[in-house]
């Protein structure tokens, strides 16, 4: 898996100061996407053990509130294989630092059992994600007043509660 960027003091992608990883590879190709260069799976640099160690080192800072995973598309099948163990390591080392993830797929459709993007790694990823912002960016629904999302169709989901209750539980931000 390649990644396009790592931000170590990100205040735009989740509450508080966060470490954010922008993975490469996305087949959505949303009109006016803010990060089009990451559509290419080969964009950026290969994610290595050194990359993970760097992220862990930065997450160790007391002022870091959590980890954010964006793209590209983290839930492209190719990325799920690489990200499932990475998320497990981060959650294990920092259980009190929430992991947020953005995806253009819907949790209750493409990412559910039988969905078109569901793989053997999907549940492993979701077990370690606290908040999922789902749904594609839709230019016609763009709203700059929204927190942590670009268009009004996107939902901010409490993943653990949603999985326990077997229905989508959204959060207000």
State the total domains in the chain: 1
Give pLDDT, residue 30: 73
Q: What is residue 141's predicted lDDT score, i.e. its pLDDT?
A: 96
- What was the pLDDT predicted at 132? 98
170 lies in some domain: no
pLDDT of residue 55: 98
Residue 172 located in a structural domain: no
Q: What CATH number has the domain bearing residue 147?
A: 3.20.20.70
Residue 171, in any domain of the structure: no
Q: Please measure the distance between the N-terminal and C-terminal CA atoms of the chain and give it in whole angstroms.
A: 31
Give the three-class secondary structure for 109.
Answer: coil
Q: Give the range of the structural domain holding residue 86, as residue numbers without chain letter.
A: 2-165
Position 123 scores a pLDDT of: 97
Structure-token pair, residue 119: 């793989």
Residue ranges in the chain modelled with pLDDT below 50: none
Q: What is the pLDDT of residue 37?
A: 82
| Confidence (pLDDT) at 72 | 93
| pLDDT of amino acid 28 | 79
């Amino acid at each position: 898996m390649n990644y396009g960027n790592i931000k170590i003091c990100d205040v735009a992608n989740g509450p508080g100061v966060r470490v954010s990883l922008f993975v490469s590879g996305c087949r959505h190709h949303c009109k006016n996407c803010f990060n089009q260069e990451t559509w290419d799976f080969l964009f950026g640099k290969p994610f290595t053990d050194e990359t993970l160690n760097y992220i862990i080192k930065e997450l160790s800072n007391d002022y870091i509130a959590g980890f954010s995973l964006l793209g590209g598309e983290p839930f492209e099948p190719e990325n799920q294989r690489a990200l499932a163990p990475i998320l497990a390591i981060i959650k294990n080392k920092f259980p009190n630092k929430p992991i947020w993830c953005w995806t253009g797929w819907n949790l209750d459709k493409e990412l559910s059992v039988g969905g078109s993007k569901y793989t053997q790694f999907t549940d492993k990823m979701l077990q370690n994600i606290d908040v999922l912002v789902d749904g594609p960016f839709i230019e016609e629904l763009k709203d700059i007043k929204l927190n942590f999302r670009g268009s009004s169709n996107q939902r901010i989901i409490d993943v653990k509660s949603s999985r326990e209750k077997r229905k989508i539980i959204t959060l207000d931000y």
